[in-house]
Structure 1
Amino acid sequence: DMTPLPELASTGYCLANPGEAYIIYSPSNAEIKVDLRTAYGRLKVEWMHPVLGNSIQAGTVDGGEWCTLKPPLEGDSVLLLYK
């Protein structure tokens, strides 16, 4: 189940099932710092444009620590992190 957990992302916009999946909104192409300290192993990274709906697979990140990600899209973006 996804729960609003704004404290997990520097943007303040985060839905999460901690350790499993995260959906984070990034207004105006802002860099995102995400608290992945309760996520162990690797998470897949996907960026979506919230208006156009196109997405970009962007590899993986390691859980267990804070992570900083920069959107590859212009304007607003949605970051998906999932197992």
Structure 2
Amino acid sequence: MAYEYEESNKQIVFTVDNESSMGELNERIKELQEVYRKAKAWDNYIAEVIERVKITVNTDDDIEKETQEVIDYYMERADDER
């Protein structure tokens, strides 16, 4: 996932934008950190779902189907929240 580049992206925010105040830059960094935190949490959650699904299903196709159903459910909820 892209969050592997979190530290380098923070550096880019500081070096690219020379016109913003430190407060504005720090706010952007906080927003970036929140995005990465959510991405990591999502990855961890999906990994847990896949492990639970593996216990209850027999084939890779079943794992993929069950996992996709969970992803679809949460994507619909995210769309509803927007």
Taking structure 1 as the reference length, what is the TM-score of the superposition?
A: 0.21
Structure richer in helix, relative to its length: 2
**Structure of greater relative contact order (alpha carbons < 8 Å, 6+ residues apart):** 1
State which structure, 1 or 2, has the greater radius of gyration over its C-alpha atoms: 2
The structure with the greater share of residues assigned to strand is 1
TM-score by length of 2: 0.21
